[in-house]
Chain A
Amino acid sequence: MQIFINEQSLKIQIEARLFELRDRHKPDADLLIVNGFPVSQDQPLNDGDRIVLIRRGEQPTATELEALMMARHTPGVHAKIKNSCVGIAGAGGLGSNIAIALARVGVGTLVIADFDLVEPSNLNRQQYFIDQIGLPKVAALRENLQRINPGVRVTIIQQKITPDNLLEHFSAVDVMVEAFDAAEQKAMLISHFLRSCPQTPLVAASGMAGYAASNSISTRKMAKNLYLCGDGTTAAQPGRGLMAPRVGIAAHHQANAVLRLLLGVEPE
């Protein structure tokens, strides 16, 4: 029968067992993963099994990591996500969280634009670290994404997005994400992008400040190819700041909407 061990196809005898396989191929492995699930007991192997043998502390290669993710997502789903490209305009509270969720799920290419640098106050909700203060956000985010999933291709653009450079960077994406902070920038990006690329879905966000009800944040279709996440009304203002939990909820609504669009399911 045929199995896969650390993504390599291998023919083995019918009665083969897991521990025997480990002893032969990676005797120092202390983490055995069978079809995506960690296993501690010896067990018989079946045709088509995907086995990953890991020694804790030793990093899996990008291909091994991908094989693990593929097992989690089912191969068809994984292939669709892997071959897709998502544009993210803004790498603040929304964009940094969205990028991380999409990298973890295995989106093949991310194109991320932001002109800003990491500031101490950003750490209240944005996915950066204290030793990244002062770095361009896009550079810091690419570093973090590659530490999570080195298989994701990350293209970064450190400039302000305007109607004039928008298409140069984002016209080829499969799904576009609006992740800006200012309402004017949000409206600018959405109207210009949908006007120029009416066939490309766009996922935007509006209304996620403070600590109002989590369940007031929703995902709605607002126009052809425009999906909006958030409560629609709660603006950031003095006394009602942007905070990690609710910004994270909105960001993950956006990330899930992107995932659904890539898999051909209507976001809701």
Chain B
Amino acid sequence: MLLQINGQNREYPAPLNIVQLLAHLQLATERVVVELNREILTADKLADTQLKDGDTLELIQFVGGG
């Protein structure tokens, strides 16, 4: 299936949920804000959300400091 991640088209085999995608991208789940098809998802929903062909994701990674 084709996913658009932060503006880039990427091909992934289905089935794939968001936790699996983040692991594949080596992103720490708890430090990322996920927007799927223009809707923000909270961390507790990531494992239950299966990705499908044509999904658009924005993955915003945060670093510590403030």
Contact = CB atoms under 8 A, between A and B. Distances in A.
Interface of A: 90, 92-95, 163, 179-184, 186-188, 190-192, 194-195, 198, 204-209, 222-224, 226, 228, 232-237, 242, 247
A159 to B, nearest CB: 18
A182 B23 CA distance: 20
Contact of B30 (A95, A187, A242): A187
A206 B38 contact: no
B43 A94 contact: no
Contacts of A95: 66
B30 to A, nearest CB: 5
Contact of B65 (A198, A204, A207): A207
Nearest to A223: B35
B33 interface: yes
Given A163-B42, A192-B42, A184 B66 contact: no
A233 B63 contact: yes
A179 B66 contact: yes
Given A223-B35, A223-B40, A247 B65 contact: yes
Contacts of B38: 223-224
Given A222-B58, A223-B58, A188 B66 contact: no
Contact of B62 (A94, A194, A206, A247): A206
B40 A187 contact: no
B64 interface: yes
A191 B32 CA distance: 9
6 contacts: A163-B42, A179-B66, A183-B31, A191-B41, A222-B60, A226-B40
A233 B65 CA distance: 10
B34 interface: yes
Contacts of A237: 64
B65 A242 contact: yes
Interface string B23-66: 00000101111110010111100000000000000101111111
Contacts of B65: 93, 181, 206-209, 234-236, 242, 247
A163 B41 CA distance: 13
